């Protein structure tokens, strides 16, 4: 360890190199900036920057915030260093950097939600949830057919992927040793990176073998989506199962519990919260897929509740198509596209809430 | 209830590594046997081979003969799950199931194996086991609270209650007090004294006083050096081991001159 990487706590060490130097005891009390100081500096920085910009005629909210944050960091460092010393000053600057990074990450998120709300709220009405697009050329109509298509296709995909994914993960963590397990892990990794269009083409090519090249149906879409979903479920479930302490498995074995029951009643319940959120993420990943469904599920304006025959439209496809190929006039189509996006976001939100619910209901409790 | 355990020329391996060699030991029913010895000499390994928990580790295996009341435990066709139902185990670190309440933890053995009994019988079993583990008065008002919300000592006694609720013939304890304060330790030692009227108990401990206090017999394990297998040096009545052991190594160890 070189002397410049040594931290304060190392001063208590008495290794040879240190013993030569006089050990300076660290004071327990040192000067500290008052509580209001960071806020004071922040407001002052913003005011100063805003004032200067306004005086030079360049005032703008964004520029003020960016330059103000910079000034804030610099002033905080200088002030803190002179009062509290170097370590505290670095601490304060790093805190500022982390907070700013968080705010920057938040900007696109909030902007997306606000934009979708603003544009989508116009057609967020009863008709959107009850009408399809059959026979609609301009105003009116709705996304009922697309909502049902999304729900049916995603539910089918989930029904296929979740059991397969979870069982694969159980195999890999609890049973898999050696070559087969390594091969599965490898293919899961490869599958995680498959572009979604490839999954769509695969499903199309596969079903075209049986039904000819004109085949378009909802179940095919579900198959394409589960190809995308399974690796995500496997990966996240695997991580969750791995963090279940081995002691719990041994505790169950020691009570004379067979392995499969131990997995079913101890390992999975202990990790169910994590598995549930992993599964939700996987569903959220595929529910917004457009390209593969465009190929294999096709497009339709009417309601089709049978996934095994006939074309089926989902919300992303509906949004895409309304935007890419609007009728005349354009506006009602664009409005419906935004509302589809809004409904999609709401569905994902509900899924997340459901996962939270599952997590809190089943999670290990401590009180 | 309460059976004898008899090991003959037992070799215990982790893969190709011989961890414990040539153990010959006779454990009588309704006695407490303490296993002592320096770290890494294979006490836990031997203990875990008694209820076939050893083979849970990939590559781990056992050679030789180990019998429970004359019945070979490693014979062909013996189901390890069945063995573990008769030989219970308490681990060094308390490990209650975090998803279960105190009540459910006690009956975990039944619950995990889908053995259903009436509500009344189950309540009785829970109370009996918790009383047996000296925990009843502390938890009787919060049986539906999670087991992981108890203190370390209480959790360990909960694990003991869980182990005796399945009414095993033999109870194995691997350093059950090493994470506990002196008062909880005393509670568990008292408990061991009571339990030996019903069970055969084998306990691993690093605490000589504890071995002297709770056990009728003591076995001393040791190891010549790293990479060498551990082995049982001698086993005798606890009094004898601590006052006039036959082997020099044992005397050095119990008098604190080694390890
Ligand atoms: N899972 C394992 N895989 C491989 N070797 C192991 C494993 N567990 C233990 N060993 C080895 O077996 C030998 C005996 O270990 P064991 O845990 O039985 O010692 P111990 O007497 O219980 O020690 P302690 O008093 O520290 O608990 C040691 O050399 C150890 O490194
Ligand atoms: Mg041990």
> Which neighbouring-strand residues pair with B10?
B23
Please tell me the distance from the alpha carbon of residue A317 to that of residue A294, in angstroms, as a whole number: 6
Whether A3 shows a pLDDT value over 60: the answer reads no
Binary contact (A270, B145; C-beta < 8 A):
no
Question: CB-based contact (8 Å) between B121 and chain A?
Answer: no
Testing ligand 1's pocket by substitution, the residue of B12, B14, B18 carrying the most ligand atoms inside 8 A of its CB is: B14
A93-121 pLDDT, tens per residue?
Answer: 999 999 999 999 999 999 999 999 999 99
pLDDT the model gives residue A355: 86
What secondary structure does DSSP assign to A133-184, as a single string? -TT--SS---SHHHHHHHHHHHHHHHHHHHHHHHHHHHIIIII--SHHHHHH
Kindly report the nearest CA distance between residue A262 and chain B, in angstroms.
Answer: 7
Hey, of B78, B80, B99, B167, which one would you mutate to test binding to chain A, going by the most A CBs within 10 A of its CB? Answer: B99
Domain boundaries, chain A: 30-121, 129-362
User: Does residue A343 contact residue A130 with C-beta atoms inside 8 Å?
Assistant: no
- Compare CB distances from A254 to B58, B89, B99 and report the shortest one's residue: B89
Domain residue ranges of chain B, discontinuous segments joined by +: 5-254
Q: Percentage of residues in chain A with pLDDT exceeding 70?
A: 92
Give pLDDT < 70 ranges for chain B.
Answer: 1, 258-259
* pLDDT tens per residue across span A49-58: 999 999 988 8
Query: According to the model, what pLDDT value does residue A356 have?
Result: 86
Nearest atom in ligand 1 to B227's CA? 29
* Residue A23 pLDDT level (bands cut at 50, 70, 90): low
| Range A59-86 average pLDDT | 89
Q: How far is the CA of A112 from the centre of ligand 2 (A)?
A: 57
CA gap B59, B12 in Å, rounded: 11
DSSP state of B147: G
Q: What's the B45 CA to ligand 1 centre distance in angstroms?
A: 6
Q: Does ligand 1 lie within 6 Å of residue B48's CB atom?
A: no
Query: Given CB atoms, is B148 within the 8 Å cutoff of chain A?
Result: yes
Q: What is the dihedral of CA B130, B135, B141, B144, to 10 degrees?
A: -60
pLDDT score for B47:
94
Q: What is the pLDDT of residue A367?
A: 55
Mutate-to-test residue for ligand 1 from B11, B12, B15, B19, highest number of ligand atoms within 8 A of CB = B19
Chain A residues with CB under 8 Å of B142 CB are none
How confident is the model over A149-174, as pLDDT tens digits? 999 999 999 999 999 999 999 999 99
> Taking a C-beta distance cutoff of 8 angstroms, is the pair B20, B229 a contact?
yes
Chain B residue at shortest CA distance from A366: B149
Task: Kindly identify the ligand whose nearest atom is closest to the C-alpha of B45.
Answer: 1
Residues 6+ apart with CB under 8 A from A304: A145, A149, A218, A310, A311, A312
Is B108 an interface residue toward A (CB < 8 Å)? yes
Q: Per-residue pLDDT averaged across A224-244, rounded?
A: 95
Q: What is the pLDDT of residue B148?
A: 86
* Test mutation, A247, A252, A256, chain B, max B CBs within 10 A: A256
What residues of A are in contact with residue B51 (Cβ under 8 Å)? Answer: 254
Containing B17, the helix (H) or strand (E) segment is: strand B17-27
B49 lines ligand 1 (CB under 6 A): no
Which pLDDT belongs to residue B158? 93
Which of B37, B40, B56, B92 should be mutated for ligand 1, with most atoms under 8 A from CB? B40
Closest alpha carbon to B41 in B18, B12, B20: B20
- Comparing C-alpha atoms, which of A183, A182, A271, A196 is closest to residue A226? A196
B117 lines ligand 1 (CB under 6 A): no
According to the model, what pLDDT value does residue B218 have?
Answer: 95
Cα separation values, A357 from A353, A361, B10, B99, Å: 6, 6, 52, 16
Question: Can you tell me the distance from the alpha carbon of B44 to that of B236, in angstroms, rounded to the nearest whole number?
Answer: 19
Q: What percent of chain A has pLDDT over 90?
A: 64
Note if the pTM is more than 0.90. Answer: no
Res. A250: pLDDT tops 90: yes
Kindly give the distance from the C-alpha atom of residue B168 to the centroid of ligand 1, in angstroms, as a whole number.
Answer: 25
Give the residue-averaged pLDDT of A135-146: 89
* CATH code of domain A129-362: 1.10.3720.10
- Residue B37 alpha carbon to ligand 1 centre in Å: 12
Q: What band does A365 get if pLDDT is binned at 50, 70 and 90?
A: low
**What is the predicted pLDDT for the residue at A13?**
47
A243: tokens are 């963090």
State yes or no: pLDDT of A133 exceeds 60.
yes
- CA separation (Å) from A290 to A224, A293, A314, A317? 11, 6, 8, 5
CB of B41 sitting under 6 A from ligand 1: yes
B5-254 CATH choice from 3.40.50.10190, 3.30.830.10, 3.40.50.300, 3.40.640.10: 3.40.50.300
A171 C-alpha vs ligand 2 centroid, how far in Å?
Answer: 30
């Amino acid at each position: 360890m070189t002397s410049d990487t040594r931290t304060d706590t190392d001063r208590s060490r008495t290794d040879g190199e240190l013993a030569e130097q006089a050990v300076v005891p660290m004071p327990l009390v040192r000067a500290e900036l008052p509580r209001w100081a960071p806020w004071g500096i922040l407001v002052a920085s913003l005011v100063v920057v805003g004032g200067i910009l306004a005086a030079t005629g360049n005032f703008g909210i964004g520029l003020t915030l960016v330059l103000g944050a910079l000034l804030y960091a610099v002033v905080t460092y200088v002030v803190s260093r002179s009062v509290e010393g170097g370590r505290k000053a670095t601490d304060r600057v790093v805190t500022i950097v982390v907070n700013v990074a968080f705010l920057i990450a938040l900007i696109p998120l909030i902007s997306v939600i606000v934009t979708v709300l603003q544009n989508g709220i116009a057609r967020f009405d009863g008709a959107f949830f009850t009408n399809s697009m059959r026979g609609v050329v301009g105003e009116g109509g709705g996304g009922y057919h697309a909502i049902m298509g999304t729900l049916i296709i995603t539910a089918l995909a989930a029904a296929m992927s979740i059991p397969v994914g979870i069982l694969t993960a159980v195999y890999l963590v609890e049973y898999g040793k050696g070559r087969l397990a390594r091969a599965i892990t490898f293919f899961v990794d490869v599958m995680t990176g498959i572009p979604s269009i490839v999954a769509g083409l695969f499903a199309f090519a596969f079903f075209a073998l049986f039904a000819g090249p004109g085949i378009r149906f909802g179940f095919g879409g579900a198959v394409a989506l589960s190809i995308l979903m399974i690796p995500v479920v496997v990966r996240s479930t695997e991580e969750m199962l791995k963090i279940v302490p081995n002691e719990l498995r041994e505790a169950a074995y020691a009570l004379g519990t067979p392995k499969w029951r131990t997995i079913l009643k101890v390992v999975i319940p202990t990790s169910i919260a994590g598995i549930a959120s992993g599964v939700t993420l996987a569903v959220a990943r595929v529910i917004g897929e457009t390209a593969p469904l465009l190929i294999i599920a096709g497009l339709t304006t009417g309601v089709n509740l049978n996934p095994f025959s006939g074309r089926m439209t989902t919300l992303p496809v509906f949004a895409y198509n309304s935007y890419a190929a609007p009728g005349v006039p354009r506006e009602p189509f664009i409005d419906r596209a935004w509302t589809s996006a809004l409904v999609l976001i709401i569905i994902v939100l509900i899924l997340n809430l459901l996962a939270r619910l599952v997590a809190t209901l089943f999670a290990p409790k401590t009180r | 209830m309460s059976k004898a355990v008899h090991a003959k020329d037992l070799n215990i391996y982790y893969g190709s590594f011989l961890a414990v060699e040539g153990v010959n030991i006779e454990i009588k029913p309704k006695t407490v046997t303490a296993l002592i010895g320096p770290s890494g000499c294979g006490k836990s390994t031997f203990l875990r081979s008694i209820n076939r928990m050893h083979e849970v580790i990939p590559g781990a295996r056992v050679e030789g003969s180990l019998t429970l009341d004359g019945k070979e435990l490693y014979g062909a066709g013996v189901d390890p799950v069945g063995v573990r139902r008769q030989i219970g185990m308490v681990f060094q670190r308390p490990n209650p199931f975090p998803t279960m309440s105190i009540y459910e933890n006690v009956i975990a053995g039944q619950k995990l194996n889908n053995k259903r009994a009436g509500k009344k019988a189950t309540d009785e079993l829970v109370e009996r086991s918790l009383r047996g583990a000296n925990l009843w008065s502390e938890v009787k008002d919060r049986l539906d609270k999670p087991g992981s919300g108890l203190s370390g000592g209480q959790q360990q006694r909960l694990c003991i209650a869980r182990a005796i609720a399945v009414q095993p013939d033999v109870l194995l304890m691997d350093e059950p007090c090493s994470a506990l304060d002196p008062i909880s330790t005393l509670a568990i030692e008292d408990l061991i004294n009571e339990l030996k009227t019903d069970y055969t108990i084998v306990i691993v401990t690093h605490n000589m006083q504890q071995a002297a206090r709770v056990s009728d017999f003591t076995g001393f394990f040791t190891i010549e050096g790293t990479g060498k297998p551990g082995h049982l040096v001698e086993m005798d009545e606890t009094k004898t081991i601590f006052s006039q052991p036959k082997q020099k190594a044992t005397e050095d160890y119990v008098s604190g001159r080694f390890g």
